[in-house]
Amino acid sequence: MPSSTFTASAALLSLLATATAQSTVGFGPAFSLGPTQSWIREANTTLVLPKTPGLKDRLALWPGMGTSGGDLIQALAVSFSDPNANCGASEGQWCTWASTLQDEQLGGTEVPANAGDKLTMHYVYNDSTGEYDQTVYINGESVSTLSTSSGQAQGWGTAVECQDDACESTTVAAHRMSLPIKTDNPIFEINLDAEYLDTTIILNAEDNTFKDTLVLTEADSTEFSSSDGGKTWTVETINIHEHTYNV
C-alpha cells in the first residue's frame, strides 16, 4: 500500500487523541496516489460536498498529502455532533478549514459549508518560504488558509474518515432496531456520495510511474493522465462510493 495509507492512520489517531482513548476508527473509500519518485509541488481539487451523515461525531472528508517531514496536509470537511460549537454551523452543515497534522493538528479559520457547495482545496509549495500554502475556497471564495513547513509531499489521496468513538454510540442507537441480534457487532452505515472535480497534481519533475501508484478503494474515476510527459497530472472526476462501516 502507498505511504499515504500509513500517514492517514496517523491522522486518525491524532484526531482521536482529542476524544477519548481506545476508540476504534474507520477509513472508507479512497483514491490514493503515491509515493512519487519526484515530489508534489501543487495540488488542486474540488470536493462537491454530500449531505452530512447527521449529527454524529465525527465524519471527515479530506484530500491529503503525506510529506517527507511526516506531516499530513489535509484540508478538512467535518461533520460534527455539535456543528455550532465547532464552527458556528447549523444542523446539516459541514465545517471546513485548511489543516496540517504535525505533532498536533494545525488549522486555519473554520467555517460552515453546505451540502452541494464546491470546496476547492489548493496546496502549493512556496519556494521563497519552503512551506506549503493551503487555501480552501467555498464556491470560489477563499475562506481559510494555512502555511506549514512540512518537507516535500510524496503522495496525494482522498479519505473518508470516521472517528467512531462517537459514531458508534450514535450509530448503535440509530441502527439497533434493524439489527436484532448482532449487538456485539454494530453496523454503522453512512451514505456518502461525494465527488472530487478537476483534480490537478503538479510534480517537481516528470515521473511516469506516478500513474501506476493509483489505488482505488470503493471509488472510481475518469482517466488519470498526464499531457506533458509525467509532470502535470489530471483527473476530471473522482467518484467516492457509498460506504458501510463495521465497527
Ligand X SMILES: *[C@@H]1O[C@H](CO)[C@@H](O)[C@H](O)[C@H]1NC(C)=O
Query: Which of positions 20-59 make contact with ligand X (CB under 6 A)?
Result: 42, 44
Distances (CA, A) of 5 to 68, 89, 156, 201: 14, 30, 10, 18
x/- mask, ligand X, residues 188-217, rule CB under 6 A, reads ------------x-x---------------
What cell numbers appear for 132 in the block? 506549503
Residue 122 contacts ligand X per CB under 6 A: yes
Q: Which is nearer to ligand X, 25 or 136 (CB)?
A: 136
Q: Which is nearer to ligand X, 200 or 208 (CB)?
A: 200
Element (H, E) at 14: helix 3-17
Q: Give the shortest CB-142-to-ligand X separation in angstroms.
A: 8
Residue 139 contacts ligand X per CB under 6 A: no
Residue 128 contacts ligand X per CB under 6 A: yes
Q: Give the shortest CB-147-to-ligand X separation in angstroms.
A: 6
Residue 126 contacts ligand X per CB under 6 A: yes
8 A C-beta contact, residue 143 and residue 226: no
Residue 129 contacts ligand X per CB under 6 A: yes
In the chain, helix, strand, coil percent, each to 5?
Answer: 15, 45, 35
Burial of 234 (C-beta count, 10 Å sphere; 0-12/13-18/19+): middle
Between CA 226 and CA 202 the distance in angstroms is 10
Residue 120 contacts ligand X per CB under 6 A: yes
Q: Give the shortest CB-215-to-ligand X separation in angstroms.
A: 23
User: DSSP string spanning 155-168?
Assistant: -EEEEEEEEHHHHH
Sign of CA dihedral 89, 91, 96, 102: positive
Partners of residue 120 on adjacent β-strands: 46, 137
Q: Which is nearer to ligand X, 139 or 246 (CB)?
A: 139
Q: Which is nearer to ligand X, 132 or 188 (CB)?
A: 132
Q: Which is nearer to ligand X, 123 or 188 (CB)?
A: 123
Residues near ligand X (CB under 6 A) = 42, 44, 120, 122, 126, 128-129, 133, 137, 200, 202
